[in-house]
A and B are shown apart, each in its own frame.
Chain A
Amino acid sequence: MKKTIAVLVENHFGVLTHVSGLFSARGFNIDSLTVGETEDPTISRMTIVADGDEKTLEQVKKQLNRLIDVVKVIDLTDEDFVDRELVLVKVKIDNKKRSEILHVADTFQAKIDDVKKENVVIEVTGDQNKIKSFIEMMRSFGIVEIVRTGRIAIGRK
Chain B
Amino acid sequence: MKMTGAKIFIEALKKEGVEIMFGYPGGVVLPIFDALYDSGINFILTRHEQGAAHAADGYARATGKVGVCLATSGPGATNLVTGLATANMDSVPIVAFTGQVRTSLIGNDAFQEVDISGITRPISKHNYLVKDINKLATVIKNAFHIASTGRPGVVVVDIPVDIQIQEADFYYPESIEIRGYKPTYNAHIGQIKRACKLIAASKKPVLYVGGGVIISNASGELIEFVKKTEIPVTMTLMGLGAFPGTDKFSLGMLGMHGTAYANHAIHESDLIIAIGARFDDRVTGKIEEFAPHAKIIHIDIDPCAISKNVEVDIPIVGDAKCALRDLLKNVEKPDISGWHKQIEVWKKKYPLTYKDDSKLRPQYVVEEIYNVTKGNAIITTEVGQNQMWAAQFYKYDKPRQFISSGGLGTMGYGFPAAIGAQMGCPKKHVFDIAGDGSIQMNIQELTTAVANKVPVKVAILNNGCLGMVRQWQELFYKKRYSYTILEACPDFVKLAEAYGAVGMRITKKKDVRKAIKDALKIKRPVMMDFRVEPEENVFPMVPAGQAINKMIGVLA
Residues of A participating in the B interface, judged by any CB pair closer than 8 Å = 9-10, 14, 17-18, 21, 25, 55, 58-59, 62-63, 65-72
What's the nearest-Cβ distance from chain B to residue A15, in Å? 10
Q: A68 to B121, alpha carbons, bound, how many Å?
A: 12
Residue of chain B at shortest CB distance from A72: B180
Residues of B participating in the A interface, judged by any CB pair closer than 8 Å = 117-118, 121-122, 125-126, 129, 146, 178-181, 302-304, 307-308
Establish whether residues A68 and B126, one from each chain, have CB atoms under 8 Å apart when the complex forms.
yes
Establish whether residues A68 and B304, one from each chain, have CB atoms under 8 Å apart when the complex forms.
no
Establish whether residues A68 and B181, one from each chain, have CB atoms under 8 Å apart when the complex forms.
yes
Of A17, A21, A59, A70, the contact of B304 (CB 8 Å cutoff) = A59
Establish whether residues A69 and B121, one from each chain, have CB atoms under 8 Å apart when the complex forms.
no
Establish whether residues A62 and B303, one from each chain, have CB atoms under 8 Å apart when the complex forms.
yes
Closest 5 CB pairs of A and B: A71-B180, A68-B126, A62-B304, A62-B303, A25-B122
Give 6 new A-B contacts, CB below 8 A, not counting A59-B304, A63-B304: A66-B302, A66-B303, A68-B126, A68-B146, A70-B180, A71-B179
Residues of B within 8 A of A62 (CB): 303-304
Residues of B within 8 A of A67 (CB): 180
What's the nearest-Cβ distance from chain B to residue A7, in Å? 10
Establish whether residues B126 and A58, one from each chain, have CB atoms under 8 Å apart when the complex forms.
no
Residues of B within 8 A of A58 (CB): 307
Establish whether residues B303 and A65, one from each chain, have CB atoms under 8 Å apart when the complex forms.
yes
Residues of A within 8 A of B178 (CB): 68
What's the nearest-Cβ distance from chain A to residue B181, in Å? 5
Residues of A within 8 A of B307 (CB): 55, 58
Q: A10 to B180, alpha carbons, bound, how many Å?
A: 8
Residues of B within 8 A of A14 (CB): 117, 129
Q: A124 to B444, alpha carbons, bound, how many Å?
A: 65
Q: A53 to B307, alpha carbons, bound, how many Å?
A: 14
Establish whether residues B180 and A69, one from each chain, have CB atoms under 8 Å apart when the complex forms.
yes
Of A17, A70, A72, the contact of B118 (CB 8 Å cutoff) = A17
What's the nearest-Cβ distance from chain A to residue B103, in Å? 12
Residue of chain A at shortest CB distance from B317: A62
Q: A101 to B308, alpha carbons, bound, how many Å?
A: 50
Interface centre among B117, B146, B304, B308 (most CB of A within 10 A): B304
Q: Could you list 27 examples of A-B contacts with CB < 8 Å?
A: A9-B180, A10-B179, A14-B117, A14-B129, A17-B118, A17-B121, A21-B121, A21-B122, A25-B122, A55-B307, A59-B304, A59-B308, A62-B303, A63-B304, A65-B303, A66-B302, A66-B303, A66-B304, A67-B180, A68-B126, A68-B146, A68-B180, A68-B181, A69-B180, A70-B180, A71-B179, A71-B180
